[in-house]
Amino acid sequence: MENFKCTNYFQFICKRPDRAIIQTKWILETITRPVKTETQSDGRIRKWGYINEVGKYLRVILLEDGETVHNAFFDRNFKEESK
């Protein structure tokens, strides 16, 4: 993947048919303008972003450094909290 650092796992998993449709720009948008961010107990960072083009929420998992992408997938269960 270009434009961001990623793990070998991500390079492998993004070849799956259900992940191959995820565009680089959507990952970058989710990292820079998330609707929600959480830090996992292992230090990895979860970020969610709404992707208008597909009408779904994308979850991006970053390593502890906050910039290396480890995983990205459409999260069917995510519900944005009302304000």
The DSSP string of 21-74 is T--HHHHHHHHHS-SEEEE-TTS-EEEEEEETTTTEEEEEEE-TTSS-EEEEEE
Asked whether residue 43 is domain-assigned, the answer is yes
Asked whether residue 82 is domain-assigned, the answer is no
Number of domains composing the chain: 1
Asked whether residue 42 is domain-assigned, the answer is yes
Asked whether residue 30 is domain-assigned, the answer is yes
- pLDDT category at 68 given cuts 50, 70, 90 is very high
The string of pLDDT tens digits covering residues 6-50 is: 999 999 998 898 888 999 999 999 999 999 999 999 999 999 999
Q: What is the pTM of this model?
A: 0.89
Asked whether residue 18 is domain-assigned, the answer is yes
Asked whether residue 16 is domain-assigned, the answer is yes
Asked whether residue 83 is domain-assigned, the answer is no
**CA separation for the pair 71, 81 (Å, rounded):** 23
Domain that holds residue 35: 8-74
